[in-house]
Amino acid sequence: MSTKRISLTQYLIEQQRGEAQIPAQLRLLIEVVARACKRIAINVNKGALGDVLGSAGSENVQGEVQKKLDVIANEVLIEANEWGGHLAGMASEEMDDMLAVPNRYPQGEYLLLFDPLDGSSNIDINVSIGTIFSVLKHQGGPVTNESFLQPGTAQVCAGYCVYGPQTTLVLTVGKGVVMFTLDREQGSWVMTEDNVRIPEDTKEFAINMSNMRHWATPVKRYIDECLAGKDGPRGKDFNMRWVAAMVADVHRIMTRGGIFMYPWDKREPNKPGKLRLMYEANPMSFLVEQAGGVATNGLQRIMEIQPTQLHERVSVMLGSRNEVDLVTRYHQELK
């Protein structure tokens, strides 16, 4: 193994000078987000010793109970980003409306969206959780919720940090996907994968099977065929994995392939899905596509959906190309 260590800073400076030509402000913004993720990782690791487990006694805009760590992670990201001068505003799963950068600080040209702590139900049981983020360019004028309503194709950067056995930061600035592992002794991010590729084929799916009776026909057909294994139309056995934190399930797919689905279901027919478009589905779709995978809502590419609300929900199917294409075809055939 080579002893040459590439840090996040070195990688970003190379992206500034090289093909991606990322502006210095975007580089600084990514460094600040990565620094905030380190602070969140420290809090996550303290667990019961740091009084960070359990409920915060409040609800977010989606009516979900906020955990203490949801609130802490949200505050860490805001505090880290509001003064640097690279942002015009921030939006978070944990805040009803967007947050403009306070007047006492200079305004930058970017918009940052995040799910500060994805997979909240895993916090107290010591299973992987993460932070997901997306960066857009502010199109000018006063910053409002509407400023954030840009399709995923407008993202200039997306990433996530998974707090698991290792703390890993996965990033794209539109030129492939790279992974960094947190070196705790040095306090630095070290590149551990420089060209993440999702295999086109897979034998592994991730979906909450307990919802099967609520699914639409195309999803049911796809999973039924996977379950039929070697004897069914697919002619191969499939395995199932479900961590119940999108960030961890997607990380597995980025590492060894697979398909992840959180489809529309009949429990709440008026909602397009459970997951949020702007700070969950879009950044993950950008990463998955940059790694050679596919991300759709069953009918169209997720990144081409024109958002109409900050906390909009969407049906999600993403991962290995041939599997996502197949389940998307099943949806399109029934259209």
CB 172 within 8 A of CB 157: yes
- Residue facing ligand F6P at closest CB distance: 246
**Angle subtended at Cα 93 by Cα 91 and Cα 96, rounded to the nearest 5 degrees:** 70
Q: Which residues pair with 172 in a beta bridge?
A: 158
Calpha distance 86→28 (Å, rounded) = 7
| Residue 212 in the binding site for ligand F6P (CB under 6 A) | no
Calpha distance 144→156 (Å, rounded) = 19
| The binder of ligand F6P chosen from 156, 245, 295, 324 (CB under 6 A) | 245
Give least dist CB 110 to ligand F6P, A: 24
Q: CA of 90: how far to CAs of 29, 58, 70, 140, in Å?
A: 12, 21, 16, 15
| Residue 262 in the binding site for ligand F6P (CB under 6 A) | yes
Calpha distance 52→68 (Å, rounded) = 6
Site string for ligand F6P, 100-139 (x = CB under 6 A): ------------------xx--------------------
Calpha distance 87→110 (Å, rounded) = 5
CB nearer to ligand F6P: give 82 or 249: 249
Calpha distance 151→221 (Å, rounded) = 30
CB nearer to ligand F6P: give 108 or 283: 283
Site for ligand F6P in 153-172 (CB under 6 A): none
| The binder of ligand F6P chosen from 208, 214, 232, 255 (CB under 6 A) | 208
Q: Which stretch binds ligand F6P (CB under 6 A): 28-36, 42-50, 149-157, 243-251?
A: 243-251
Tokens of residue 321, six digits: 């190309």
CB nearer to ligand F6P: give 108 or 116: 116
CB nearer to ligand F6P: give 82 or 93: 93
Interface residues with ligand F6P (CB under 6 A)? 118-119, 208, 244-246, 262, 275
